[in-house]
Structure 1
């Protein structure tokens, strides 16, 4: 799988209590949720970082 420099990147900001406090346009493009859908929601994510530094996540 080749890296695509034009691929969107999701930036998700979570505060100390686990609530989403920031959501990028990439989050909307990749995950389908608008900031209005997720801001203030407690983010529960189980992530796995593989040996090739790729992250898979489920929540």
Structure 2
């Protein structure tokens, strides 16, 4: 669970920005978007295989 401590002098906007940044870094928003709709196992396998190929291609280009 992501949490941002707010001091007495902190403004709401800055606390919200820190919270949004923390959510992005933890990958919670991406996970929620991914789980929004059901993904068939065959589609999931294809997505993972494509990600693995992209990673190998990146390593080969470096």
Category of TM-score, reference length = shorter chain: under 0.3
Higher normalized helix content (fraction of residues): 2
Higher normalized strand content (fraction of residues): 1
- What's the TM-score, normalizing by structure 1? 0.24
- What's the TM-score, normalizing by structure 2? 0.24
